[in-house]
């Protein structure tokens, strides 16, 4: 009698209970793995966003730092300027910075702008026109680098001594007016006097990306 009981296998009910328990364990394991994978994807995406933001801010800081010595060259245009925002295009930041060439220090023009949701950096070589205006500056095409995507909006402000922080819309006409040539009569009377260009010693960038607002202040002066 005891030998028959020992040889008896599992009943159908016991097999169904075991299968149900294994199914529950499999579902819990799958949900746990899915949660881990989703968390990993969020961490990777956040890390990529932080890396892109760090690269953009570091590049802009380097460009602004190298634009400060340009004021010593006595050029007819400021080393930092802003464009007025249009209906479809936000204001952009333009600057002249020094760069090392093959044999001498060269001047490079750099523009930061927002185009179709991409924060871009463009650069090209800068050349000064002739004093009499007879020789025009050759148009050098810009090389554009996308440095950050999924950007909804950008804003620029500049710091002027004695006037504080001014938005790009207020700074653009001030810096543009400083580049206008003086009348011929005034130039004949005082040929050696150059207009005093306003010096922007600080730049503030406000960037909206994926609903988050990032504000960074850059010191231009050494």
The C-alpha atoms of residue 46 and residue 74 are separated, in whole angstroms, by 44
Mean pLDDT of 91-95: 92
Residue 189's pLDDT is 46
Of 160, 166, 168, 167, the closest CA to residue 201 belongs to 160
CB < 8 Å & 24+ apart, contacts of 22-28:
none
pLDDT tens-digit profile of 159-217?
Answer: 998 889 999 888 888 877 555 444 444 444 444 444 566 789 999 999 998 888 999 99
Portion of the chain with pLDDT greater than 90, in percent: 32
Structure confidence at residue 86 (pLDDT)? 66
Cα gap 130→5, rounded to integer Å: 110
Per-residue pLDDT at 186: 42
Q: Where does the pLDDT of residue 133 fall: very low under 50, low under 70, confident under 90, or very high at 90 and above? A: low
pTM for the structure as a whole: 0.73
Q: Render pLDDT for 3-20 as a digit per residue (tens, 0 to 9).
A: 555 556 678 777 788 888
């Amino acid at each position: 009698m005891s030998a028959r009981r020992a040889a008896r296998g599992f009943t159908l009910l016991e097999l169904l209970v075991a299968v149900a328990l294994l199914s529950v364990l499999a579902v819990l394991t799958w949900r746990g793995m899915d949660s881990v994978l989703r968390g990993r994807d969020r961490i990777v995406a956040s890390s990529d966003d932080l890396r892109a933001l760090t690269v953009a801010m570091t590049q802009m800081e380097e460009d602004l730092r190298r634009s400060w010595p340009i004021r010593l060259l006595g050029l007819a245009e400021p080393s930092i300027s802003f464009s007025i925002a249009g209906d479809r295009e936000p204001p952009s930041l333009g600057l002249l910075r020094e760069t090392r060439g093959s044999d001498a220090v060269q001047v490079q023009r750099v523009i930061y702008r927002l185009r179709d949701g991409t924060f871009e950096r463009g650069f090209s070589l800068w050349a000064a026109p002739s004093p009499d205006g007879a020789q025009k500056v050759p148009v050098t095409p810009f090389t554009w680098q996308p440095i950050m995507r999924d950007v909804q909006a950008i804003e620029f402000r500049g710091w002027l001594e004695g006037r504080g922080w001014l938005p790009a819309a207020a700074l653009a006409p001030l810096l543009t007016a400083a580049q206008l040539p003086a009348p011929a009569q005034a130039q004949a009377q005082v040929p050696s006097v150059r207009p005093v260009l306003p010096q922007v010693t600080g730049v503030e960038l406000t960037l909206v990306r994926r609903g988050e607002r990032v504000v960074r202040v850059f010191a231009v002066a050494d």
